Amino acid sequence: MAEFTMELNDEQKEVRDWLHGFAADVIRPAASEWDEREETPWPVIQEAAKVGIYSLDFYAQQYFDPTGLGIPMAMEELFWGDAGIALSIVGTGLAAVGVLANGTEEQIGTWIPQMYGDANDVKVAAFCSSEPDAGSDVASMRTRAVYDEAKDEWVLNGTKTWATNGGIANVHVVVAVVDSGLGSKGHASFIVPPNTPGLSQGQKFKKHGIRASHTAEVVLENVRIPGSCLLGGKEKLDERLARARERAKAGGERVKNAAMATFEASRPAVGAMAVGTARAAYEVALDYAKTREQFGRPIIDNQGVAFQLADMRTSIDAARLLVWRASWMAINGRPFTAAEGSMSKLFASETAKKVTAQAIQILGGNGYTREYPVERMHRDAAIYTIFEGTSEVQRLVIARTLSGMPIR
């Protein structure tokens, strides 16, 4: 087990500086254009693929960093560049992790390369879980997967929403209900191969922020996929469902808490994204305050501005420390006895919203225009308190964990 540290080692610093350079030289100059276009920034993704950032190998190396700091460090630097473009670069990772966590070796070797493509022909993948009536309430999922034993095929029907890369992906990973009596334990994940009949893009959302990231509905109408596209295989699914039925009889709450623990482990990465956006806005505000003069002196000479910047930096550092602690705990198998994963995501996302708003205030009228990037950063920051569990859900998780009570 790696000791918890607040100091990156030499290799991590090298990776951080490399990512920072890519974010500064490639992502930032393109940020405003792709925000305005509200389109997937394919040229930027291709550049990321050429240098090795857009690849499973890169994310696997960061994910298996024994200190746990690889992923949060990478996310902070990329999202410091721009949240919308960064989400386009890392969004495929959601689907890839779904296959890595649940798939067989053959499925991993077959499908993950098709998710990324190569530097000359980049592809993206989509992870499809949320539904119009089932976001945080995953037990209300309606998309169904029915097994056609005669043809060894699964038939999927339903509508997914808020899917990053939904409809434009080469490979879709779809979560569907196979046993409605087991709640979230009755779900399974499926690969929908490229050009499968019956899968189509529904509404593409025009969003307040992260507009360079494609977000859409995915409609599944009698989508037939081979039995081999069930992640983990039929035998493993049948065994898991049998265990879940037994556990449900013994006490359903234990099953529910196990599922919640899975969500807990992924939340620090979102917190790191929020830290990156907050840090970017703070740096713009600090530079502006040191050079903008009013009444014959820089505005940072005024306590009203200087104290805001002091609070902004303090909150950012505190958020990063919560993220790093939770990330270290997750990689080392430490239980989140105080919902530390939710704590990190809650505090970092709220910090990003507050810091980006303060940055606009410090820039005044200039901050409200698109001539400066802080208004875009503020729009982008709004998503962090919503996706991967809203701030209200995080508080509920924390309160339930601390009290042991079924708080509603």
The Cα–Cα gap between 160 and 141 comes to 9
Helix segments in 337-373, DSSP class H = 340-363
The Cα–Cα gap between 123 and 120 comes to 10
Q: Report the pLDDT value the prediction gives residue 255, as an integer from 0 to 100.
A: 42
- The answer to whether 369 and 315 are in contact (CB under 8 A) is no
Residues in Cβ contact with 365 at an 8 Å cutoff, skipping those fewer than 6 apart:
none
CA dihedral 187, 193, 199, 204 (to 10 degrees): 90
pTM score, whole prediction: 0.94
Q: Using CB atoms within 10 Å of the CB of residue 63, give its burial: 0 to 12 exposed, 13 to 18 middle, 19+ buried.
A: middle
Q: Residues in the chain with pLDDT < 70?
A: 251-265
* Vertex 311 angle, CA 394 and 342, to 5°: 15
Give the three-state DSSP class for 209.
coil
Q: End-to-end alpha-carbon separation of the chain, Å?
A: 37
Instruction: Note if 33 is an active site residue.
Output: no
Look up residue 196 and give its DSSP letter: -
Q: Which of 36, 217, 388, 392 is catalytic?
A: 388
Q: Report the pLDDT value the prediction gives residue 262, as an integer from 0 to 100.
A: 41
Structure token digits, residue 357: 């708003």
Give 385-389 contacts, CB < 8 A, sequence gap 24+: 385/349, 385/350, 385/353, 387/162, 387/270, 388/263, 388/266, 388/267, 388/270, 388/345, 389/136, 389/263, 389/267, 389/342, 389/345
Look up residue 389 and give its DSSP letter: S
Q: Report the pLDDT value the prediction gives residue 137, as an integer from 0 to 100.
A: 75
Separation of CA 117 from chain center? 21
The Cα–Cα gap between 55 and 112 comes to 10
Q: Report the pLDDT value the prediction gives residue 6, as an integer from 0 to 100.
A: 86
